[in-house]
Amino acid sequence: MASDRCARVNFLYRIALAVTVFSVATGCVSPPFGPAVAVKPGHDKPFSDFLQDDAQCRQHARDQLARGMDTHAASDAHAPLAQLNVQQRYDLAYLECMQAKGNVVSSTHQATPPGGAP
């Protein structure tokens, strides 16, 4: 009986430890607050339109992260998304959206994952 009780306590201890480690590990990964890249309004685009594009593209990037994301830039470059961190995947989706809406992305921040063709 004592060994049964000891085995149950040991099992519960291991479960509690696993849950704690998992909670700490997942707590370290938080979604980005916004893009870590600079984008400018397209030629002759009113700033209010740019702000609308920005809000829509931020939402688009959040949606892409939530769905597991498969952006054209990542698939075109044949780069596995597993190599990209959360911020990079968010930035890719955001840049792809902003470019599609006619905004200017600097040449150092094209919507291409690291290691991909420019």
Q: What is the pLDDT of residues 92-115, one digit of tens each?
A: 999 999 999 999 998 665 544 545
Residue 21's domain comprises 1-30
Of the pLDDT bands very low, low, confident and very high (cuts 50, 70, 90), residue 81 is: low
Does residue 116 share a domain with residue 64? yes
Asked if 104 and 40 touch (Cβ cutoff 8 Å), the reply is yes
Contact criterion met (CB below 8 Å) for 32 and 66: no
Q: Which residue has the tokens 């049964």?
A: 4
Domains: count for the chain: 2
Question: Residue 47 has what pLDDT?
Answer: 96
d(CA 10, CA 18): 12
Q: Are 44 and 97 in the same domain? A: yes
In degrees and rounded to multiples of 5, residue 40 shows phi and psi of -115, 155
Q: Which range is least confidently modeled, 14-23, 34-43, 97-106?
A: 14-23
Residues 4 and 58 in one domain: no
Can you give the pTM of this predicted structure? 0.60
41 shares its domain with 77: yes
Q: How many CA atoms lie within 13 A of 115 on its CB side?
A: 10
* The pLDDT value given to residue 106: 80
